């Protein structure tokens, strides 16, 4: 009997993760036998958890994407640009780190939703692991300018410095939001508003054709998406499509074949919509 290939998603909290469901669906499509589990690990336990895990690969989610980068024996170019990883592949030398967050976001926006990102002025809220993963790929997608705002301004400065594109990527203070002008795209990579249910930033930020994107999905995305609709954003998108697309890129890296994402996305979207209706 064929032994299943072993994979996992590691983070904290992790019980809500859809990654096991997504990868199981991908595996059924491609006739691949695998075992994919969710592993809860706090920041102090990440290194030990990875050392104990004997699987073929792992996805890394919050809050570990930056820390996991430092535990890799080797990294891909896009992981080095992000200085964060969300995909680990076991090699003879140790873990190889990759980052599929940015490619997943851009694919969801440009291919699934047919949105043109070129020439947009972008406001990126947050400078942690999630923001680090998507920022380089947004620049590659042809945006005109990116303004990074973070409550800890040093992290925003560090992210912009790492991007190496001072003509297009700039950092600003959170208190400066009201004076930054308007944007054709606003990306929320923070947890702001989750505790209170209210996302409090100026309504003057969106331009008339603004695209608003939250990198989270489900209840975590509700405060920002509600703000975006109230502010008049034309397109309002959560992170579910990005989640599916980045998972497909991870799956392709591990198995050498990219799965069909549309059926899986449709299944998860129907499930999420049903939960909202039930509430």
Extract the annotated binding site: 17-19, 61, 77, 86, 101, 126-130, 215, 217, 239, 246
Residue 56 sits in a domain whose CATH number is 3.40.50.10860
Q: Catalytic one among 23, 64, 65, 78?
A: 65
Q: Supply the pLDDT for residue 198.
A: 78
Q: Are both 44 and 168 inside the same structural domain?
A: no
Q: Supply the pLDDT for residue 3.
A: 77
Q: Are both 135 and 257 inside the same structural domain?
A: no
Q: Are both 233 and 248 inside the same structural domain?
A: no
Q: What is the pTM of this model?
A: 0.95
Contact partners, residue 190, CB within 8 Å, separation at least 6: 125, 126, 128, 150, 151
Instruction: From 204, 191, 102, 113, select the one nearest 150 (Cα to Cα).
Output: 191
Q: Are both 95 and 107 inside the same structural domain?
A: no
Instruction: From 22, 65, 48, select the one nearest 249 (Cα to Cα).
Output: 22
Domain that holds residue 253: 5-99+243-278
Q: Are both 67 and 184 inside the same structural domain?
A: no
Q: Are both 131 and 152 inside the same structural domain?
A: yes
DSSP 4: P
Q: Are both 233 and 251 inside the same structural domain?
A: no
235: β partners: 211
Q: Supply the pLDDT for residue 193.
A: 67
In whole angstroms, what separates CA 75 from the centre of its chain?
Answer: 18
pLDDT tens over the chain, length 279 residues: 567 899 999 999 999 999 999 999 999 999 999 999 999 999 999 999 999 999 999 999 999 999 999 999 999 999 999 999 999 999 999 999 999 999 999 999 999 999 999 999 999 999 999 999 999 999 999 999 999 999 999 999 999 999 999 999 999 999 999 999 999 999 999 987 676 677 999 999 999 999 999 999 999 999 999 999 999 999 999 999 999 999 999 999 999 999 999 999 999 999 988 876 665
Q: Are both 18 and 106 inside the same structural domain?
A: no
Q: Supply the pLDDT for residue 107.
A: 98
Q: Are both 112 and 231 inside the same structural domain?
A: yes
Q: Supply the pLDDT for residue 192.
A: 76
Q: Are both 119 and 225 inside the same structural domain?
A: yes
Extract the annotated binding site for NADP(+): 77, 126-130, 215, 239
Tally of structural domains, the chain: 2
Q: Judge whether 65 counts as a catalytic residue.
A: yes
Q: Are both 57 and 145 inside the same structural domain?
A: no
Q: Are both 226 and 130 inside the same structural domain?
A: yes
Residue 177 sits in a domain whose CATH number is 3.40.50.720
Q: Supply the pLDDT for residue 272.
A: 86
């Amino acid at each position: 009997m064929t032994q299943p290939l072993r994979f996992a998603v590691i983070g904290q909290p992790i019980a809500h993760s859809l990654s096991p469901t997504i990868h199981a669906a991908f595996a059924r499509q491609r006739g691949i036998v695998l075992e994919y589990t969710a592993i809860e690990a706090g920041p102090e336990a990440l290194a030990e958890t990875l050392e104990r895990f004997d699987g073929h690969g792992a996805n890394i989610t919050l809050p570990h994407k930056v820390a996991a980068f430092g535990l890799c024996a080797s990294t891909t170019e896009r992981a080095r640009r992000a200085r964060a990883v969300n995909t680990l592949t076991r090699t003879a030398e140790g873990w190889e780190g990759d980052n599929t967050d940015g490619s997943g976001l851009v694919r969801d926006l440009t291919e699934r939703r047919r949105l043109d990102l070129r020439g947009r002025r972008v406001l990126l809220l947050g400078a942690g692991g999630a923001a680090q993963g998507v920022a380089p790929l947004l620049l590659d997608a042809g945006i005109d300018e990116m303004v990074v705002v973070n409550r800890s301004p040093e992290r925003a400065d560090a992210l912009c410095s790492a991007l190496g594109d001072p003509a297009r990527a700039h950092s600003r203070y959170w208190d400066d939001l009201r004076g930054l002008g308007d944007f054709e795209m606003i990306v929320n990579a923070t947890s702001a508003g989750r505790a209170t249910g209210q996302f409090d930033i100026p309504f003057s930020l969106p331009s008339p054709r603004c695209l608003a994107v939250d990198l989270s999905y489900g209840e975590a995305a509700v405060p920002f998406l509600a703000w975006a609709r109230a502010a008049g954003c034309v397109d309002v998108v959560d992170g579910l499509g990005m989640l599916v697309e980045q998972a497909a890129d991870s799956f392709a890296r591990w198995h050498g074949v990219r799965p069909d994402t549309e059926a899986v996305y449709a299944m998860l979207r129907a499930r999420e919509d049903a939960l909202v209706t039930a509430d």
